[in-house]
């Protein structure tokens, strides 16, 4: 048996600071010095990991000390250094990227190594080979946010629909805007700050709402001719709730990943976990 010692970020509870600890795997090696790991696992040497709001929220809402130190991080890119006997789609040396849920586990991608388990039915790490046209750094930048954006519109008929997107310049909002354009939305009305208007327009917004001014009045101005079929909220708040009967069309739906309070640690954490980690959607159906 050979110890593979490595460093990773960890914490014990939401009241404790992040710290770097030394951890280790203990695997036998074959005649070529390759690690022999469990049959359904993949051992990845991490090159890059992304920091997302949910990482901080998971930290600050962890109240009970685990049996071992909590890990941090969801997105990653890196190199495969060992594969289990049941793994056929990957080999040692492959450059990979993915999303590690980390729920109910004590590891994370803010680590020198990550043991990817492919046989945990609801906690599987999503992993794929990196396309040749992007770098390792770029590969770690999008799995959580794009995955969340895709889940927000999953199963919805977007073509020729009128859509309101709140928080279009957020990391998830930028992907939602592009997906709405690709899916053929007729109107994509997006709220953002003035400094982000040019970028959001380039991504596909057909009309801009300045969130530094009265958002409700601007939204109401945009429904004089036709209400919205969908609202996608990447920002939060309750400003529109009292007027949803006017703002949303019959059978229209309101989808949020942040809860009803902008910046709310617990509310945002719950909704982001629902959408980005477990695959559920927080949705309000206007059945009028």
Domain residue extents for the chain: 2-141, 144-285
Asked whether the beta carbons of 126 and 98 are under 8 A apart, the reply is yes
**Residue 115: what pLDDT?**
95
Rounded to an integer, the average pLDDT of 265-279 is 37
Lowest mean pLDDT among 67-76, 122-131, 210-219, 248-257: 67-76
pTM: 0.79
Match 């390792």 to its residue by tokens. Answer: 136
**Comparing 2-141 with 144-285, is the CATH topology the same?**
no
Predicted confidence (pLDDT) at residue 13 exceeds the cutoff of 90: no
CA distance 287 to 284: 9
Decide the pairing of beta strands 75-83 and 41-48: antiparallel
Rounded to an integer, the average pLDDT of 132-160 is 95
Decide if domain 144-285 falls under CATH 3.40.50.720: yes
Percent of residues, the chain, with pLDDT higher than 90: 68
Considering only the top CATH level, what class is 2-141? alpha beta
CA distance 44 to 97: 10
Predicted confidence (pLDDT) at residue 258 exceeds the cutoff of 80: yes
pLDDT-derived band at 79 (thresholds 50, 70, 90) equals: very high
Q: How do residues 219-240 score in pLDDT, each as one tens digit?
A: 999 999 999 999 999 998 899 9
Return the HEC string of the chain.
Answer: CEEEEEEEEEECCCCCCCEEEEEEEEECECCCCCECCCCCEEEEEEEECCCCHHHHHHHHCCCCCCCCCEECCCEEEEEEEEECCCCCCCCCCCEEEEECCCCCCCCCCCECEEEEECCCCCCCCEEEECCCCCCHHHHCCCHHHHHHHHHHHCCCCCCCCEEEEECCCCHHHHHHHHHHHHCCCCEEEEEECHHHHHHHHHHCCCEEEECCCCHHHHHHHCCCCCCEEEEEECCCCCCCHHHHHHHEEEEEEEEECCCCCCCCHHHHHHHHHHHHHHCCCEEEECCC
């Amino acid at each position: 048996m050979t110890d593979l010692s490595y460093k990773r970020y960890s914490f014990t509870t939401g009241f404790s600071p992040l710290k770097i600890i030394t951890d280790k795997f203990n695997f036998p090696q074959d005649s070529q010095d390759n690690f022999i790991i469990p049959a359904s696992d993949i051992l990845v040497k991490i090159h890059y990991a992304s920091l997302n709001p949910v990482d901080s929220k998971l930290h600050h809402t962890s109240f009970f000390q685990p049996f071992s130190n909590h890990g941090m991080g969801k997105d990653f890119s890196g190199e495969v250094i060992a594969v289990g006997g049941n793994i056929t789609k990957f080999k040692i040396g492959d450059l990979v990227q993915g999303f590690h849920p980390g729920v109910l586990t004590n590891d994370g991608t803010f680590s020198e190594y990550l043991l990817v388990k492919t046989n945990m039915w609801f906690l599987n790490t999503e992993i794929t080979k990196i396309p040749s046209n992007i770098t390792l750094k770029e590969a770690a930048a999008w799995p959580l946010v794009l995955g969340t954006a895709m889940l927000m519109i999953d199963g919805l008929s977007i073509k020729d629909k009128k859509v309101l997107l709140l928080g279009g310049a957020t990391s998830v909002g930028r992907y939602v805007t592009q997906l709405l354009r690709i899916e053929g939305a007729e109107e994509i009305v997006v709220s953002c700050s003035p400094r982000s208007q040019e970028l959001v327009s380039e991504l596909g917004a057909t009309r801009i709402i300045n969130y530094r001014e009265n958002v409700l009045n601007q939204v109401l101005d945009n429904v004089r001719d036709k209400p919205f079929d969908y609202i996608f909220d990447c920002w939060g708040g309750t400003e529109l709730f009292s007027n949803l009967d006017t703002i949303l069309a019959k059978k229209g739906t309101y989808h949020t990943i942040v809860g009803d309070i902008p910046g709310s640690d617990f509310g945002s954490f719950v909704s982001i976990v629902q959408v980005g980690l477990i695959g559920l959607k927080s949705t309000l159906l206007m059945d009028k």
